[in-house]
Amino acid sequence: MSTSPAARARRLQEQRRIERALAEMVGVVRAIVADGTVSADEATHLAAWTRENPEIAARWPANMLAMRLESIVRDGRVDARERAHLEAVLSQLAQNPAWMAFSLATDLPVDRPEPPVVFRSRTFVFAGEMAYGPRRACEREVVDLGGMCERTVSRRTDYLVLGALSASEWEQEGFGAQVDEVAQLRARGAHIAIISEEHWANALP
């Protein structure tokens, strides 16, 4: 079915509005990270911005940022762990704002349905570029929740997490080899789940 010119114009107008809002948010984020620290006031201001701009805050992975901001500002202070996490995420956004509007591929080779994520005593491997922040930040979240992380897939692996920023070209990315390795290990009886970064992030407490 063809789309009417009026419908196309409305979609284009909406897309431009979202792009303007995104540009505004990137400006706010860059101002926050300019001095290398994130204060409670800055986190509160950014949380308020996400509430006032739901069309951005509802999109993955911006919804992850909005959720974490709300949990951080709820008690009115930013502790050292929260600050380290928030600085990592905001620095990623400031350097690469495109991830906020990134259109994820729908054909990632993840398990369907994606299984529940258990952190304690489980081993994770992160592959590709993560929207959540630097890989070490993702690994820190797992370790803090009682899990373990390795850099390559093995029989010890419980979850292979595919990074959102590599989703559109996963076959050409390095984690294509990781996916192949999981398939080979599964054929030999290993129980390894392949999950998306979004699924992993949504499982964080």
Given a contact cutoff of 8 angstroms between Cβ atoms, the answer to whether 48 and 72 are in contact is no
pLDDT at residue number 102: 47
- Asked, for residue 81, whether it belongs to a domain, the answer is yes
Strands 193-196, 123-127: parallel, antiparallel or unpaired by DSSP? Answer: unpaired
Query: Do 148 and 91 share a structural domain?
Result: no
**Residue 76 CB contacts under 8 Å (≥ 6 apart), including other chains:** 40, 44
Q: 145, 91, 138, 93: which is closest to 118 by C-alpha?
A: 145
- Whole-angstrom distance, CA of residue 89 vs CA of residue 94: 9
Query: Do 148 and 78 share a structural domain?
Result: no
- Asked, for residue 165, whether it belongs to a domain, the answer is yes
Query: Do 85 and 137 share a structural domain?
Result: no
- Asked, for residue 112, whether it belongs to a domain, the answer is no
Query: Do 92 and 27 share a structural domain?
Result: yes
Query: Do 162 and 90 share a structural domain?
Result: no
More confident residue, 29 or 1: 29
- Asked, for residue 87, whether it belongs to a domain, the answer is yes
| Averaged confidence pLDDT in the chain | 80
Residue 9 has pLDDT above 80, yes or no: no
Query: Do 14 and 86 share a structural domain?
Result: yes
Q: What is the DSSP letter of 115?
A: P
- Asked, for residue 115, whether it belongs to a domain, the answer is no
Which helix (H) or strand (E) is 124 found in, with range?
A: strand 123-127
Q: pTM of the entire structure?
A: 0.63
Query: Do 78 and 13 share a structural domain?
Result: yes
In this structure, what token pair is assigned to residue 71? 């949990």
- Whole-angstrom distance, CA of residue 83 vs CA of residue 77: 10
CATH number at residue 197: 3.40.50.10190
Which helix (H) or strand (E) is 16 found in, with range?
A: helix 5-33
- Asked, for residue 160, whether it belongs to a domain, the answer is yes
**Residue 136 CB contacts under 8 Å (≥ 6 apart), including other chains:** none
In this structure, what token pair is assigned to residue 21? 């809002």
Query: Do 90 and 33 share a structural domain?
Result: yes
pLDDT at residue number 152: 93
pLDDT at residue number 1: 46
Task: State which residues form the domain around 185.
Answer: 123-202
Number of structural domains found in the chain: 2
- Asked, for residue 190, whether it belongs to a domain, the answer is yes
Average pLDDT over residues 90-94: 74
In this structure, what token pair is assigned to residue 5? 């010119």
- Asked, for residue 117, whether it belongs to a domain, the answer is no
- Whole-angstrom distance, CA of residue 38 vs CA of residue 145: 24
Query: Do 38 and 69 share a structural domain?
Result: yes
- pLDDT, tens digit, for every residue of 171-196? 555 667 888 899 899 999 999 999 99
CB atoms within 10 A of CB 71: 13
